[in-house]
Amino acid sequence: MATKVLMVCLGNICRSPMAEGLLRHKIRALNLDVETDSAGTAGYHIGSKPDHRMIDTAAKYGVDISDLRARQFQASDLETFDYVFAMDKENQLNMQALAKNEKQRNKVKLFLEQVNHPDLSEVPDPYYGDQAAFEFVFNLLDEATDTFIETLKKL
Protein backbone atom coordinates (compact mmCIF):
# COMPACT_ATOMS: atom_id res chain seq x y z
CA MET A 1 0.00 0.00 0.00
CA ALA A 2 1.18 3.50 -0.80
CA THR A 3 2.64 5.58 2.01
CA LYS A 4 0.55 8.74 2.46
CA VAL A 5 2.23 12.05 3.30
CA LEU A 6 0.39 15.27 4.19
CA MET A 7 2.05 18.70 4.29
CA VAL A 8 0.22 21.37 6.31
CA CYS A 9 0.56 25.15 6.74
CA LEU A 10 -1.93 27.93 7.52
CA GLY A 11 -3.44 28.89 4.15
CA ASN A 12 -2.37 25.94 1.93
CA ILE A 13 -1.35 28.40 -0.79
CA CYS A 14 2.39 28.98 -0.13
CA ARG A 15 4.45 26.62 2.04
CA SER A 16 2.51 23.34 2.08
CA PRO A 17 1.67 23.19 -1.66
CA MET A 18 5.37 23.92 -2.30
CA ALA A 19 6.37 21.07 0.04
CA GLU A 20 3.82 18.79 -1.59
CA GLY A 21 4.89 19.82 -5.11
CA LEU A 22 8.58 19.22 -4.44
CA LEU A 23 7.94 15.87 -2.83
CA ARG A 24 5.61 14.83 -5.69
CA HIS A 25 8.20 15.89 -8.26
CA LYS A 26 10.92 13.77 -6.62
CA ILE A 27 8.67 10.78 -5.94
CA ARG A 28 7.63 10.66 -9.62
CA ALA A 29 11.25 10.77 -10.75
CA LEU A 30 12.10 7.86 -8.43
CA ASN A 31 8.85 5.96 -9.02
CA LEU A 32 8.22 5.51 -5.27
CA ASP A 33 4.87 4.21 -4.00
CA VAL A 34 3.99 7.38 -2.08
CA GLU A 35 0.88 9.61 -2.22
CA THR A 36 1.18 13.28 -1.39
CA ASP A 37 -1.33 15.90 -0.33
CA SER A 38 -1.40 19.24 1.48
CA ALA A 39 -3.88 21.25 3.53
CA GLY A 40 -4.24 24.44 5.55
CA THR A 41 -5.34 24.69 9.16
CA ALA A 42 -7.36 27.77 8.13
CA GLY A 43 -10.15 27.82 5.58
CA TYR A 44 -9.41 31.25 4.03
CA HIS A 45 -8.34 29.96 0.62
CA ILE A 46 -10.36 26.77 0.07
CA GLY A 47 -10.39 25.89 -3.66
CA SER A 48 -7.67 28.42 -4.55
CA LYS A 49 -4.55 27.80 -6.60
CA PRO A 50 -1.23 28.31 -4.83
CA ASP A 51 -0.14 31.95 -4.53
CA HIS A 52 1.14 33.13 -7.95
CA ARG A 53 4.48 34.07 -6.36
CA MET A 54 4.94 30.48 -5.17
CA ILE A 55 3.81 29.05 -8.54
CA ASP A 56 6.28 31.32 -10.38
CA THR A 57 9.18 30.55 -8.07
CA ALA A 58 8.56 26.81 -8.40
CA ALA A 59 8.29 27.09 -12.20
CA LYS A 60 11.63 28.88 -12.30
CA TYR A 61 13.18 25.72 -10.85
CA GLY A 62 11.19 23.35 -13.09
CA VAL A 63 8.52 22.34 -10.57
CA ASP A 64 4.85 22.72 -11.54
CA ILE A 65 2.41 23.29 -8.66
CA SER A 66 -0.25 25.16 -10.68
CA ASP A 67 -2.70 22.22 -10.57
CA LEU A 68 -2.87 22.11 -6.75
CA ARG A 69 -5.94 23.52 -4.96
CA ALA A 70 -6.23 24.52 -1.33
CA ARG A 71 -8.29 22.56 1.15
CA GLN A 72 -8.72 22.76 4.90
CA PHE A 73 -7.13 20.24 7.24
CA GLN A 74 -9.67 17.94 8.91
CA ALA A 75 -9.44 15.67 11.95
CA SER A 76 -9.85 12.54 9.79
CA ASP A 77 -6.52 13.38 8.08
CA LEU A 78 -4.82 12.21 11.26
CA GLU A 79 -6.20 8.74 10.57
CA THR A 80 -5.79 8.71 6.78
CA PHE A 81 -2.15 9.80 6.50
CA ASP A 82 0.99 7.95 7.62
CA TYR A 83 2.97 11.19 7.96
CA VAL A 84 1.48 14.58 8.88
CA PHE A 85 3.96 17.45 8.72
CA ALA A 86 3.42 20.96 10.05
CA MET A 87 5.34 23.88 8.57
CA ASP A 88 5.31 25.75 11.89
CA LYS A 89 4.49 25.25 15.57
CA GLU A 90 1.14 27.01 15.39
CA ASN A 91 0.00 24.64 12.62
CA GLN A 92 1.29 21.72 14.70
CA LEU A 93 -0.64 22.78 17.82
CA ASN A 94 -3.83 23.43 15.85
CA MET A 95 -3.70 19.94 14.35
CA GLN A 96 -2.81 18.29 17.63
CA ALA A 97 -5.85 19.93 19.21
CA LEU A 98 -7.98 17.80 16.85
CA ALA A 99 -6.25 14.50 17.72
CA LYS A 100 -8.44 11.74 19.14
CA ASN A 101 -5.63 9.95 20.92
CA GLU A 102 -1.92 10.04 21.73
CA LYS A 103 -0.97 8.13 18.59
CA GLN A 104 -2.60 10.78 16.39
CA ARG A 105 -1.10 13.59 18.48
CA ASN A 106 2.40 12.16 18.08
CA LYS A 107 1.93 11.73 14.34
CA VAL A 108 1.96 15.51 13.84
CA LYS A 109 5.61 16.50 13.45
CA LEU A 110 7.38 19.69 12.44
CA PHE A 111 8.71 18.95 8.97
CA LEU A 112 12.10 20.59 9.63
CA GLU A 113 12.54 18.63 12.87
CA GLN A 114 11.73 15.38 11.05
CA VAL A 115 14.63 16.05 8.68
CA ASN A 116 16.92 17.31 11.48
CA HIS A 117 17.46 20.71 9.91
CA PRO A 118 20.60 22.20 11.49
CA ASP A 119 19.28 25.76 12.01
CA LEU A 120 15.52 26.00 11.74
CA SER A 121 12.50 24.20 13.17
CA GLU A 122 9.86 26.22 11.30
CA VAL A 123 9.36 27.17 7.65
CA PRO A 124 8.82 30.95 7.73
CA ASP A 125 5.55 32.24 6.29
CA PRO A 126 6.40 34.12 3.05
CA TYR A 127 2.88 35.51 2.48
CA TYR A 128 3.68 39.08 3.55
CA GLY A 129 7.27 38.83 2.31
CA ASP A 130 9.09 39.71 -0.90
CA GLN A 131 10.42 37.54 -3.74
CA ALA A 132 13.44 36.64 -1.62
CA ALA A 133 11.11 35.14 1.02
CA PHE A 134 9.58 32.85 -1.62
CA GLU A 135 13.03 31.83 -2.89
CA PHE A 136 14.08 31.11 0.70
CA VAL A 137 11.04 28.87 1.28
CA PHE A 138 11.63 27.05 -2.02
CA ASN A 139 15.28 26.33 -1.19
CA LEU A 140 14.53 25.30 2.39
CA LEU A 141 11.81 22.89 1.27
CA ASP A 142 13.93 21.59 -1.62
CA GLU A 143 16.64 20.64 0.86
CA ALA A 144 14.19 19.23 3.42
CA THR A 145 12.33 17.11 0.85
CA ASP A 146 15.66 15.73 -0.42
CA THR A 147 16.39 14.52 3.12
CA PHE A 148 12.90 13.11 3.64
CA ILE A 149 13.08 11.24 0.31
CA GLU A 150 15.95 9.22 1.80
CA THR A 151 13.54 8.02 4.55
CA LEU A 152 10.90 7.14 1.95
CA LYS A 153 13.40 5.19 -0.16
CA LYS A 154 14.07 2.91 2.83
CA LEU A 155 10.42 1.97 3.42
User: Applying CB under 6 A, does 9 fall inside the site for ligand 4NP?
Assistant: yes
Please give the residue whose beta carbon sits closest to ligand 4NP in the complex. 11
Q: How far is CA 10 from CA 87, 107, 132, in A?
A: 8, 18, 20
112 interacts with ligand 4NP by CB under 6 A: no
| 22 contacts ligand 4NP (rule: CB under 6 A) | no
**DSSP conformation letters of 70-105:** --B--TTHHHH-SEEEESSHHHHHHHHTT-SSHHHH
CB 23 within 8 A of CB 137: no
Question: Which value, to the nearest 10 degrees, does the dihedral of the CA atoms of residues 140, 146, 147, 153 take?
Answer: 160
Our finding on whether 36 is near ligand 4NP (CB under 6 A) is no
Among 5, 6, 7, 10, binds ligand 4NP (CB under 6 A): 10
Question: Per rule CB under 6 A, is residue 14 in the interface with ligand 4NP?
Answer: yes
Binding to ligand 4NP (CB under 6 A) within 118-147 occurs at: 125, 127
Binding site for ligand 4NP (CB under 6 A): 9-15, 40, 44, 125, 127
